[in-house]
Chains A and B, each alone.
Chain A
Amino acid sequence: MPKLINKSLLPPKKYFMQGNIACAEGALAAGCRYYAGYPITPSSETMEHLSNRLPEVNGVFIQMEDEIGSICSMIGASWAGAKAMTATSGPGFSLMLEGLGYAVMTETPCVIINVQRTGPATGQATRPGQGDIMQARWGAHGDYRIIGISPWSVQEMYDLTIESFNLAEVYRVPVILLADEVVGHLKESFIIKPEIEIFNRDSSMSDKPFGTVQDDGVPPMPIFGQGAKLLVTGSTHNEFGIRKVADPVVQDMLVKRLCAKIDNHKDKICKTESYLVDDADYLFISFGISARSSYAVIKQLRNEGIKAGLLRLKTIWPFADEIIKSAAQNCKVVFVPEMNRGQLVLEVQRVLCNKQVISIPKTQGEAIYPSEIYNESKKYIK
């Protein structure tokens, strides 16, 4: 797929900005021109900012009646050719799951920002959590794949929102940016570069908009109003979009392709960052704000002469099995700090079934602090 270079919308320089607002600016820079949403703490700043900024770039902003309306509106806008987004938090994300499944089934590129707070249900609206990562992966019914991304800084609220749009466009899939309240409300400096890499969907007219002969498994996506005759349906459909609600072969082929188009490109999609991993006896695997606390801990342990390293998952879904296996190859113990009762750790234990993998969970509606990770990990460091 051809890569384009766009100029940034804001003048390139160093900014001091809140994560949620950097996310909104990232969306605009990526070409987002449609936002439908319903305000919810702690994500509302993204929506508020876009309500001012989208009209300035000839975009459309709409406050919907609820989150179900929001995601459906976004899906419609995407079929009309717009890059579209919504932002929410746990309770709103729960409502969006039906629409998420529909976006997967109709292969609609779109971006959902989930600034995670505590749950279940209303929980604590202003407090951080990371308890939605399994929900993001498995929340809708049926078999499918989505892409889940986790930013750890204001810089990444900007950069990874752009990345989310690129991935959505390339793979015709909903991408969920799994931020958390801390990163969303954090204010710090970040850099806007003069140029941004952009990928746009292949919108060529195709007689097979839901099935493909393309190697990458991603069919071209015609835009409404440009002459193509097609049916967009959440029911099982063949490559032409025709409903096939009792055909076992079509059902099987469709589900397999929806999964394969992500699975087969895992190497390209999965992004991680390693810190002092090569000689590490003790490996921390984390994401989002928990990874920043983990980063402080490995520096502290290194100062004590303990060989500790951090593998940070920028992409949570698809899961980076191979990268994790290779990073953990020579380590003695693996720690997984996260702000939930232990969700990511289940995946890590699956991948590293022969290793000692220790969960370091926190569910107090506060960030997980370096001292907490340090004290827990010290119990296992000989």
Chain B
Amino acid sequence: MSKIKITGFGGQGVILAGEILANAAVMDGKEGSAIGSYGSAARGGLTSSEIVISNEFIDAPFSEKPDVLIALSQDGYDKFVYTVNQNGIIIVDSGMVSIKPLPKQYELQAANIATSEIKSPVVANMVMLGALSAITEVISKTALINAIKETVNEKFVELNLRGIEFGFEKGKQIK
């Protein structure tokens, strides 16, 4: 069983990333669940997504002590960084977050990559999922690609897939 938490602020696509990840697991033949937690404003505010991937029925669909924390914002990082499981890892957007010196922490500048290389700041979430796929065994890149094709509006599929590819390559480099 893998427990993942993605955290950021409203508008960064934290909840969509969680849903794509869980859907990808289901398309891989596993059980996957995603719960988003957000405030009542459309943008801003601490947002997080809890994802559980398992080979059997998921009991509590929460990531209290995540095996993987993906942090896209300072608030989210500060709130959850010490909840990570003892053997867990952190993948953090070091362009957005001033990080603490911790072991098993993988840094990439997802928002910068999205803006400068993909020319769209909104796919930083996909860059992170691509990196997750390269760094861990949690989910395959193929499953992510399939889930994006099923979930995301047709107009934006290509853009999101590019986010995954860039993130995957970056993930391989920093692994």
Closest chain A CB from B50 CB (angstroms): 9
Chain A interface SS verdict (over half): mixed
A-side contacts of B64, CB under 8 Å: 369-371
Is there an interface contact between A41 and B40, defined as CB atoms closer than 8 Å? yes
Instruction: Judge whether B88 is part of the interface by a CB distance below 8 angstroms.
Output: no
Which residues in window 11-55 of B have CB below 8 A to A?
19, 22-23, 26-27, 31-40
* Cα distance, A189 to B150, chains bound together (Å): 14
Neighbouring B residues of A106 by C-beta, 8 Å: none
A153 to chain B, nearest CB (A): 9
CB-contact partner of B62 in A16, A41, A189, A369, under 8 A:
A369
Contacts of B40 in A (CB 8 A): 41, 124-126
User: Chain B interface: which of A59-67, A223-231, A290-298?
Assistant: A290-298
Q: How many residues of A contact B (CB 8 A)?
A: 22
> How many Å lie between the Cα of A295 and that of B59 in the bound state?
6
Any B CB within 8 A of the CB of A263: no
Partner of B19, one of A187, A366, A369: A187
Chain A neighbourhood of B61, CB < 8 A = 182, 186, 188, 292
With A and B bound together, what is the CA distance between A318 and B8 in angstroms? 43
Contact yes or no, B60 A296, CB < 8 A: yes
By the criterion CB–CB under 8 Å, are A370 and B33 in contact?
no
Shortest Cβ distance from A124 into B: residue: B40
**In the assembly, what is the distance between CA of A189 and CA of B26, in Å?**
7
A299 surroundings in chain B (CB, below 8 A): 59
A185 within 8 A of B: yes
Is B58 close to A, CB under 8 A? yes
0 or 1 for each of A39-62: is its CB under 8 Å from B? (1 = yes): 001000000000000000000000
Q: Are A189 and B35 in contact (CB under 8 A)?
A: no
In the complex, which of the residues B33, B38, B58 contacts A126, with contact meaning CB atoms closer than 8 Å? B38
A334 CB–B CB distance under 8 Å: no
User: Can you give 8 contacting A-B residue pairs, CB < 8 Å?
Assistant: A126-B39, A186-B61, A188-B26, A188-B32, A189-B32, A292-B60, A293-B59, A370-B60
